[in-house]
């Protein structure tokens, strides 16, 4: 009975999720496997920000609670912006935005609290472009983790400080990296860098600068997005272009199970709770996947182009919500939520 009630309670909210409204006009489309095309965060000033980019390569800051654009960084890059990340810089008490574009080897850091540029990094003269970037704090120092170049897999993943100095490279990172993620394990007191690649996902021990595990099934597909399920034992969840969600034992590197979601490509993923993962799909839908039953629970329809990025947020007015980007960024809410104001 307890198990049935647990499942029932979790199914009710997601069975009632529905499209609420478009938050943006039509946005630029880049490669379909861009899995972090926008970012959302609560700033140190308690503003719930949505940050995205427009067709003029400007970065837009949008207040999700008051439903309005706050400001923008005009012409932040000279080419389409492909990746946006937020990093809370606790050392200097500021919100950092990292932006990456399809211009070759350029990434930029911005202080969102005063809209000032912090740092531009130009990395070498290799062909291709940076596809993903992440920030990490380790031993009270901030670092940038920069993926290798698409079309140049011999370039390693690099580690920079916030002054733009290259300080290290990740060993055994000589395959095309399409997405990155970080995970801090409290029990081990260690930071891990996770990468989704062509043919496998990998994890690296940040301090020891070595490969921790390779998560490889019998496939050569591109792994497009990553998440850590840490409610009990740590699990790595990844999506791939073969339409599968794979769940791995993070510390053992073993495949626990694989869920065949569809016959189309899956891109950005996010955890809704410990029982459900949500994925964007090339068939223009959002896939809700039941991790307990190991099956597709529901498809959400509203986009008319590939859904690249999905993120769960806690909205002060609407409760738990979902944001998704295809051609536009859309807001999904739980129908009949007592706090919602449609």
pLDDT at position 156: 81
Close Cβ partners of 208 (under 8 Å, ≥ 6 residues apart)? none
Q: Which residues pair with 86 in a beta bridge?
A: 97
Close Cβ partners of 4 (under 8 Å, ≥ 6 residues apart)? none
DSSP H stretches of helix in 167-278: none
Q: What is the mean pLDDT of the chain?
A: 88
- Asked if 32 and 39 count as a contact pair (C-beta separation under 8 A), the reply is no
Specify the length of the chain in residues: 342
Close Cβ partners of 156 (under 8 Å, ≥ 6 residues apart)? 148, 169, 170, 171, 173, 174
Q: Which residues of the chain have pLDDT under 70?
A: 1-12, 30-33, 104, 124-128, 149-154, 173-174, 337-342
pLDDT at position 186: 93
* Measured distance CA(42)–CA(97) in Å, rounded: 12
pTM score of the predicted model: 0.92
In 3D, which of 337, 244, 305 has the Cα closest to residue 28? 305
pLDDT at position 154: 67
Close Cβ partners of 66 (under 8 Å, ≥ 6 residues apart)? none
Close Cβ partners of 230 (under 8 Å, ≥ 6 residues apart)? 183
Burial class (CB in 10 A: 0-12, 13-18, 19+), 216: middle
Close Cβ partners of 218 (under 8 Å, ≥ 6 residues apart)? none
pLDDT at position 171: 73
Q: Which residue has the tokens 């490969």?
A: 211
Q: Which residue has the tokens 């409610």?
A: 231
């Amino acid at each position: 009975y307890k198990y049935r009630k647990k499942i029932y309670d979790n199914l009710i909210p997601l069975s009632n999720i529905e499209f609420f409204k478009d938050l943006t006009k039509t946005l630029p489309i880049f490669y379909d496997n861009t899995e972090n095309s926008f970012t959302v965060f609560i700033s140190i000033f308690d503003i719930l920000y949505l940050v995205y980019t427009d067709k003029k390569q400007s970065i837009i800051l949008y207040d999700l609670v008051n439903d309005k654009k706050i400001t923008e960084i005009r012409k932040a890059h000279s080419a389409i912006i492909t990746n946006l990340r937020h990093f809370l810089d606790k050392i200097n008490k500021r919100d950092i935005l990292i932006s990456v574009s399809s211009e070759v080897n350029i990434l930029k850091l911005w202080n969102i609290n005063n809209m000032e540029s912090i740092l531009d990094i130009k990395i070498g003269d290799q062909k291709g472009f940076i596809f993903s970037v992440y920030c990490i704090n380790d031993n009270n120092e901030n670092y940038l983790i920069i993926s290798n170049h698409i079309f140049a897999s011999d370039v390693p993943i690099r580690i920079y400080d916030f002054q733009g100095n290259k300080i290290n490279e990740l060993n055994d990172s000589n395959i095309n990296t399409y997405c990155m993620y970080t995970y801090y394990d409290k029990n081990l007191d260690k930071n891990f860098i996770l990468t989704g690649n062509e043919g496998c996902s990998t994890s690296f021990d940040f301090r020891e600068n070595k490969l921790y595990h390779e998560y490889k099934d019998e496939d050569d597909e591109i792994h497009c997005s990553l998440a850590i399920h840490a409610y009990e034992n740590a699990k790595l969840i990844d999506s791939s272009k073969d339409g599968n969600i794979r769940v791995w034992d993070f510390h053992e590197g073993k495949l626990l199970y694989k869920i065949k979601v569809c016959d189309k490509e899956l891109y950005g993923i996010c955890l809704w709770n410990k029982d459900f993962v949500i994925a964007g799909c090339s068939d223009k839908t959002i896939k809700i996947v039941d991790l307990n039953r190991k099956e597709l629970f529901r498809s959400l329809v509203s986009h008319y182009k590939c859904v690249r990025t999905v993120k769960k947020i806690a909205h002060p007015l609407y409760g738990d919500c979902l944001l998704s980007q295809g051609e536009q960024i859309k807001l999904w809410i739980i129908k009949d939520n007592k706090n919602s104001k449609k």
